[in-house]
């Protein structure tokens, strides 16, 4: 009989137990190594048995995925960066418009107020004509002005019939800077304008008292304001 140790066990019992464990362990490992191909399928796996950390890098490729196996709802945010997309992979017909956010530059554009409407000279609430000036009858642009989103004033109109150079007065906020006199070449014809080119003037405050914002044209049968523009400074 083997020598007894504490608890009633002998060294023989312990040795036999250890040998049994070694044999059984080797048998289990051997059995695992002898599993047939495809003998463990999806049904044999417990739920969540295979986690991302258990999958080797690049082990799952496109060719191993079932059709429509990966949908938008299964992708983490920013999981597919743009450098992973083939050219023309995301064409317009493949994009769900509801998933698109606003482009930053478009947000800036949307925040800009649209340009104001033309202020028609002689209309109610607008500056009136001076010294008999009026739009030349026919298919011509009427006398008007407006200021765009960048603060630039634009003039238009094909005018005639005036007896003095002053055509109308621009209101505050649509005038050149204080003490400034702006000169512009304009097309004209008839009367004292014999060269077909004249000079239009726009007066800022302080140039001549009582004529702040005055638009002056050569006294002629027809003169064009088209193309005149300047930055509003007062």
Name the DSSP class of 193.
B
Express each pLDDT in 185-214 by its tens digit.
999 877 666 668 889 999 999 999 999 999
CA torsion sign for 185, 188, 190, 191 is negative
How much is the pLDDT for 79? Answer: 73
For residue 22, what pLDDT is reported? 47
Average pLDDT, the chain: 80
Where are the CATH 2.60.40 domain residues in the chain?
119-231
What's the CATH code, domain 119-231? 2.60.40
Across the beta sheet with 197-203, the strand order is 134-135, 158-160, 222-224, 181-189, 197-203, 214-216, 166-169
Note the helical H segments in 34-169.
104-111
Answer yes or no: are the C-beta atoms of 109 and 139 closer than 8 Å. no
Tens digits of per-residue pLDDT, 69-114?
777 667 777 777 777 777 777 776 667 777 666 666 666 666 777 8
- Checking if the pLDDT of 28 tops 90, the result is no
pLDDT at 53: 76
């Amino acid at each position: 009989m083997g020598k007894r140790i504490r608890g009633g066990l002998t060294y023989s019992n312990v040795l036999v137990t250890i040998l049994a464990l070694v044999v059984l362990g080797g048998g289990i490992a051997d059995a695992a190594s002898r599993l047939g191909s495809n003998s463990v399928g999806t049904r044999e796996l417990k739920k969540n048995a295979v986690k991302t950390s258990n999958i080797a890098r690049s082990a799952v490729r496109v060719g191993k995925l079932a059709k429509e196996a990966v949908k938008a709802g299964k992708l983490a945010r920013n999981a597919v960066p743009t450098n992973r997309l083939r050219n023309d992979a995301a064409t317009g017909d493949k994009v769900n418009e509801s998933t698109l956010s606003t482009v930053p530059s478009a947000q800036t554009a949307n925040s800009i107020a649209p340009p104001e409407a033309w202020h028609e000279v002689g209309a109610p609430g607008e500056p009136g004509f001076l010294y008999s000036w009026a739009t030349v009858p026919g298919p011509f642009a009427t006398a008007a002005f407006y200021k765009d989103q960048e603060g630039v004033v634009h003039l238009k109109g094909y005018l005639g019939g005036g007896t003095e150079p002053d055509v109308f007065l621009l209101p505050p906020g649509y005038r050149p800077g204080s003490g400034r006199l702006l000169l512009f070449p304009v097309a004209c014809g008839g009367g004292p304008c014999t060269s077909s080119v004249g000079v239009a003037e726009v007066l800022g405050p302080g140039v001549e008292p009582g004529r702040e914002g005055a638009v002056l044209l050569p006294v002629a049968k027809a003169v064009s304001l088209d193309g005149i523009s300047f930055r509003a400074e007062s």
